[in-house]
Amino acid sequence: MFRQDFKKEDSRESIVYLPDEEALNQITKSEFVTIHDTHWGIESFHRAIKQVCGIYGFMVRDSQAIKTQIFCSLQAFVCLEKMRYENIISNWFELQRNLLTLVVRDYIVENLTNGGTA
């Protein structure tokens, strides 16, 4: 078990389980950190592909259409990851947040210039 303390939130404990007690006793903190970071990367991928790339909300029932949506979501994630790698965005959620900000801004500007009639 390892504990991680944070400045603005409660501490977080992480546990690793190995069925072989001898192997469990031999794991080092750096090995645990590697395992934890790998796990966190997988969790972050799942969150991004659901929240940003829309892999969870199927609006179709046909199996081919579902496969197409999964493919498109994965392709969108690859594009986001490429943008992050090229330093175009700093994280997967930035593009989504900026897009929403632009849409809200355009709506407000359009309604201000039309005298408030929506």
Q: What tens-digit pLDDT sequence spans the chain (118 residues)?
A: 556 665 666 666 666 666 777 776 777 878 878 888 888 888 888 988 988 888 887 788 888 998 998 999 999 999 989 998 999 888 888 877 787 788 888 888 888 876 655 5
pTM greater than the 0.85 cutoff: no
What's the pLDDT at 5?
A: 64
The C-alpha R_g of the chain, in whole angstroms, comes to 21
Task: Answer for the pair 77, 49: CB distance below 8 angstroms, yes or no.
Answer: yes
**b/e per residue 71-89 (b: at least 16 CB within 10 A):** eebeebbeebeeeeeeeeb
What's the pLDDT at 64?
A: 92
36: exposed, middle or buried (Cβ count in 10 Å: 0-12, 13-18, 19+): middle
What's the pLDDT at 78?
A: 93
